[in-house]
Amino acid sequence: ETGVTQTPRHLVMGMTNKKSLKCEQHLGHNAMYWYKQSAKKPLELMFVYNFKEQTENNSVPSRFSPECPNSSHLFLHLHTLQPEDSALYLCASSQDGERTYNEQFFGPGTRLTVL
């Protein structure tokens, strides 16, 4: 595997379910990100981890819970979601989270539908 991978690619869940999204980067980067992408809206930054430490939490509801066990893996745990949480969830990584030139590499995303 190369680049940034995400699983699953598609997920349908009920509002009472608990599920997890997984992201893995094979680039040797130290920063990882979760974004939410809704139709015709800007990418919304959810969480940032830099050297495994959470450095950003953009007022995300507690029904989204991130986990970063090491610099290569990032999870997003989901529970009691709402239909408006249906979106494409993108994971990204960069060399680190603090430099000016901070090109981010994205995974293909998980298309989430909440029924």
Q: Which stretch binds other proteins (CB under 8 A): 16-24, 42-50, 59-67, 68-76?
A: 42-50
Give residues 49-88 in contact with other proteins (rule: CB under 8 A): 56
| Among 40, 60, 68, 82, interactor with other proteins by CB under 8 A | 40
Q: What span, in angstroms and rounded, lies between the C-alpha atoms of 104 and 107?
A: 10
DSSP state letters, 31-92: EEEEEEE-TTS--EEEEEEETTEEEEE-S--TTEEEEEEETTEEEEEEES--GGG-EEEEEE
- Residue 18 interacting with other proteins (CB under 8 A): no
Residue keyed to tokens 């809206």: 41
Nearest distance in Å: CB 40, other proteins:
6
Retrieve residue 3's tokens. 């680049």
Task: Provide the minimum distance between the beta carbon of 107 and other proteins in the complex, in angstroms, as a whole number.
Answer: 6
Does 99 bind other proteins (CB under 8 A)? Our answer is yes
The footprint of other proteins (CB under 8 A) covers: 4, 40-43, 45, 48, 56, 90, 97-109
